[in-house]
């Protein structure tokens, strides 16, 4: 069997079956058909989930299933990467979805940027559980901005939008299986430290759902700020002393601000009931 052009890795644990089905379908319906979808079951599926996956497998032989048991998401992602046969490997979370032209757009960017190691895209965000990635995008050539030092301030790349050269991820040892949260951010920072070229495409090509069931989203704003600060400051050892100390000072100031803002948000949320949050899309900046 010839190698596919793209391998997509999706890890699954406790994802609601309707969302998981939408995620699978959004990959299989890509305009680029020469792909494989690697589903890594990091734990058992419900009977409903098992039947849904079997039905998709009966209809499409591009689906590969790995059953790893509960080894943790980082280890599950690495298992999926080892299984991947393509030179380009993409990630999609089991509760997210991709626009039908996502892979075609990303492949075009890689074709015009042979030194690129990893590419993310814009996203639409939702706390709703029913949307599908059916929005329209521009037909003009996508614009790509490089990501380098900006990674030391924030993570501008949605994990579900990642398409990367498999060799680049292998060179930095894959995902850190010891981490519980921000595995993607840690990987990006290690790629940056090695000098790999990372970019972001301006098109909103993934639908990213945010909900408290996610490890990072379930953390308080202060905990998220502290987690990011520790990651960021651990990756500036390659800077000269003066810029490094300056960076630590700026990062610490930013941390204090973010923690204070998170505490204010928490106090405000305790004094008002949560308003209904209608489903909808907001384009990423």
The Cβ of residue 73 has, within 10 Å, a number of other Cβ atoms equal to 20
Tell me the pLDDT tens digit for each residue of 95-149: 999 999 999 999 999 999 999 999 999 998 876 655 555 567 777 788 999 998 8
Q: For residue 274, what pLDDT band results from cuts at 50, 70 and 90?
A: very low
pLDDT at residue 280 above 50? no
Q: What is the pLDDT of residue 237?
A: 65
Which own/partner contact pairs does 146-153 have at CB distance under 8 Å and 24+ positions apart?
Answer: 146/197, 146/198, 146/199, 147/120, 147/188, 147/192, 147/198, 147/199, 147/200, 148/192, 148/198, 151/188, 151/189, 151/192, 151/198, 151/235, 152/189, 152/232, 152/235, 152/236, 152/247, 152/251, 153/232, 153/254
pLDDT per position as a tens digit, 73-92: 999 999 999 999 999 999 99
Over residues 226-251, the mean pLDDT reads 61
pLDDT of residue 258: 57
Please, is 178 exposed, middle or buried when counting C-beta atoms within 10 Å of its C-beta (0-12, 13-18, 19+)? exposed
Task: Measure the CA–CA gap between 50 and 14, rounded to whole angstroms.
Answer: 12
More confident residue, 10 or 1: 10
Q: What are the tens digits of pLDDT across the range 167-206?
A: 999 999 999 999 888 899 999 999 998 999 999 998 999 9
Per-domain residue ranges for the chain?
6-209, 221-272
Question: Coil, helix or strand for 156?
Answer: coil
DSSP at 2 = P
Higher local confidence (pLDDT), 281 or 92 = 92
- Express each pLDDT in 17-72 by its tens digit: 988 999 999 999 999 999 999 999 998 889 999 999 999 999 999 999 999 989 99
| pLDDT of 261 above 70 | no
Residue 281 scores a pLDDT above 50? no
Domain 6-209: which CATH number of 3.40.50.300, 3.20.20.220, 3.50.50.60, 3.90.550.10: 3.90.550.10
Cα distances (angstroms) measured from residue 261 to each of 5, 227, 250, 251, 255: 45, 15, 17, 15, 10
Q: Which residue has the higher pLDDT, 6 or 236?
A: 6
The answer, yes or no, to whether residue 7 has pLDDT greater than 90, is yes
pTM: 0.79
């Amino acid at each position: 069997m010839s190698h596919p052009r793209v391998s997509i890795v999706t890890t699954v644990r406790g994802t609601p079956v309707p969302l998981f089905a939408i995620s699978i379908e959004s990959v299989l319906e890509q305009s680029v058909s020469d792909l494989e979808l690697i589903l890594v079951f990091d734990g058992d599926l419900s009977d409903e989930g098992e039947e849904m996956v079997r039905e998709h497998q009966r209809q499409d032989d591009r689906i590969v299933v790995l059953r790893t048991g509960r080894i943790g998401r980082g280890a599950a992602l690495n298992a999926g990467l080892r299984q991947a046969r393509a030179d380009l490997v993409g990630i999609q979370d089991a509760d997210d979805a991709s626009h039908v032209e996502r892979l075609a757009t990303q492949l075009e960017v890689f074709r015009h940027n042979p030194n690129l190691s990893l590419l993310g895209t814009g996203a639409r965000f939702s706390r709703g559980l029913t949307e599908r990635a059916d929005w329209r995008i521009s037909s003009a050539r996508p614009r790509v901005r490089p990501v380098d030092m900006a990674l030391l301030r924030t993570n501008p790349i949605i994990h579900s939008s990642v398409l990367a050269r498999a060799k680049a991820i292998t060179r930095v040892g894959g995902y850190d299986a010891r981490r519980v949260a921000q595995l993607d951010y840690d990987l990006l920072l290690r790629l940056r430290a090695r000098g790999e070229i990372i970019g972001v495409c301006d098109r909103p090509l993934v639908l990213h759902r945010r909900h408290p069931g996610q490890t990072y989203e379930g953390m308080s704003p202060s905990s998220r700020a502290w987690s990011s600060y520790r990651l960021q400051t651990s990756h500036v050892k390659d800077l000269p002393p003066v810029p490094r100390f300056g960076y630590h000072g700026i990062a610490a100031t930013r941390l204090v601000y973010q923690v204070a803002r998170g505490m204010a948000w928490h106090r405000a949320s305790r004094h008002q009931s949560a308003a209904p949050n209608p489903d909808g899309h907001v384009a990423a900046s």
